[in-house]
Amino acid sequence: MDKKTGGLVATLATLFLCGFPGLCLCIFGGVTAAGVMPYETTVNNVSNSGVVPASVGFVMLCFSLIFILIPAGVGFFTLRKKDDGVIDVVPVTPSAPAPYSNDEPLPPTS
């Protein structure tokens, strides 16, 4: 398996393991931050109900952004074209004039 295939597999794996749960968490975080996420619990025959605090929704939104950025980062760093360190240089021949030669005088400043 070459590097490009491995990068594609890693990107798809992080998309399914981090990206999609991050999108779901973003939806739930937005609803909770809006203050409309109800809860109802029953422990030892004692019932309790209310609304989840908005601060929990903002924390969920922050975590969801991190989860969504992970596949983007993995895709960028694994699928980008890396520089091989070779610089292509065209040699200057004496018969061809340079586009900007030092023989010309500078224009006057105003």
Q: What is the DSSP string of the chain?
A: --HHHHHHHHHHHHIIIIIHHHHHHHHHHHHHHTT--EEEEEETTEEEEEE--HHHHHHHHHHHHHHHHHHHHHHHHHHSPPP-S----PPPPTTSPPSS-TTSPPPPP-
Position 69 scores a pLDDT of 94
* Averaged pLDDT for residues 49-63: 93
Residue 110 pLDDT exceeds 80: no
Q: Structure pTM?
A: 0.65
* Averaged pLDDT for residues 37-66: 92
Mean pLDDT value across the chain: 84
What are the pLDDT digits (tens) for 67-103? Answer: 999 999 998 888 887 777 777 776 665 555 556 556 6
